[in-house]
Structure 1
Amino acid sequence: MTTVSEDRVEAGPTPAPRRRSSRSRHRSPVFDAVTPLGLTLRYLTLLVILVITVGPMLWELSTSLKSAFEDVYTATPRLLPQHPTLGNYGHVARLIPVGHFALNSVIVAALDVAGNVLGATAAGYALARLPFRGRRLLLGLFLSTLVLPGEVTIISQYQTVTRLGFGNSLLGVALPSMIGALNVLLMRNAFLSIPAELDEAAVIDGATVWQRLRYIALPGVKGTLSVIVILTFIGAWDDFLWPLLVLQSPDKLTLTVGLSYLQGALVADPRAIAAGAMIALLPVLVLFVALQRFFFRGVGEGAVKG
Structure 2
Amino acid sequence: MAEVQAAFLETKSRRITKPRSFKRIVKPLILYPLMIITALLCLGPFLWLLSTSLKTNANVFAFPPQFIPRPISFNNYIKVFEFMPLWHHIYNTVLISGMGVALNLITCLLMAYPLARIQFPGRNTIFVAMISTLILPNAAGMIVHFVTIQKFGLYNTYLGVVLPAAVSVFNVFLLRQAFITIPNEMEQSARIDGAGEFRIFWNIMVPMVRPAIATVVIFDFLNFWNSFIWPVVVLSDKEKYPLAPALQYLQSDFSFNFPYIAAGTIISIIPIIIVFLFLQKQFINGMVGAVKG
Partner residue, 1:245: 233
| 2:23 is equivalent to residue 33 of structure 1 | yes
Residue type of the alignment partner of 2:51? S
| 2:266 is equivalent to residue 278 of structure 1 | yes
Residue type of the alignment partner of 1:297? N
Structure 1 unaligned blocks of 5 or more: 1-28
Q: Deviations over 1:63-82 (max 9, x none)?
A: 001124x4212332221111
1:299 CA drift (Å): 1.6
Q: Residue 169 of structure 1 is aligned with which of 139, 147, 157? A: 157
Q: Residue 222 of structure 1 is aligned with which of 197, 207, 210? A: 210
Structure with greater proportional helix content: 2
Q: Deviations over 1:163-210 (max 9, x none)?
A: 111111111111111221110111100000001222122223321111
| 2:133 is equivalent to residue 152 of structure 1 | no
Q: Residue 32 of structure 2 is aligned with which of 43, 52, 55? A: 43
Distance 2:153 2:93 in 1: 20
Q: Which moved more, 1:43-52 or 1:123-132?
A: 43-52
Q: Which moved more, 1:222-231 or 1:88-97?
A: 88-97
Report the 3-state secondary structure (helix = DSSP H, G, I; strand = E; otherwise coil) of the residue aligned with 2:137: coil
Q: Residue 198 of structure 2 is aligned with which of 183, 198, 210? A: 210
Residue type of the alignment partner of 2:23? A
TM-score (norm 2): 0.89
Q: How do 1:25-174 residues align onto structure 2 when only pairs under 5 Å count?
A: 33-36=23-26, 38-68=27-57, 70-174=58-162
Residue type of the alignment partner of 1:133? P
1:44 CA drift (Å): 2.2
Report the 3-state secondary structure (helix = DSSP H, G, I; strand = E; otherwise coil) of the residue aligned with 2:120: coil
Partner residue, 1:16: none
Residue type of the alignment partner of 2:100? D
| 2:278 is equivalent to residue 295 of structure 1 | no
Residue type of the alignment partner of 1:148? L
Partner residue, 2:250: 262
Distance 1:85 1:196 in 2: 59
Report the 3-state secondary structure (helix = DSSP H, G, I; strand = E; otherwise coil) of the residue aligned with 2:282: helix
Identity of aligned residues (%): 33
Q: Residue 180 of structure 1 is aligned with which of 144, 162, 168? A: 168
Distance 1:165 1:48 in 2: 52
Structure 2 unaligned blocks of 5 or more: 1-18
1:273 CA drift (Å): 0.5
Residue type of the alignment partner of 1:103? Y
1:112 CA drift (Å): 1.2
> Is the contact between residue 192 and residue 302 of structure 1 (CA under 8 Å) also seen in structure 2?
no
Distance 1:152 1:49 in 2: 35
Distance 1:303 1:193 in 2: 11
Distance 1:216 1:303 in 2: 22
Distance 1:181 1:112 in 2: 15
1:146 CA drift (Å): 0.8
TM-score (norm 1): 0.85
Distance 2:270 2:203 in 1: 35
> What is the alpha-carbon root mean square deviation over aligned residues?
1.6
Residue type of the alignment partner of 1:34? R
Residue type of the alignment partner of 1:176? P
Partner residue, 2:9: none
Distance 1:56 1:304 in 2: 33
Report the 3-state secondary structure (helix = DSSP H, G, I; strand = E; otherwise coil) of the residue aligned with 2:100: helix
Equivalent pairs, count: 273
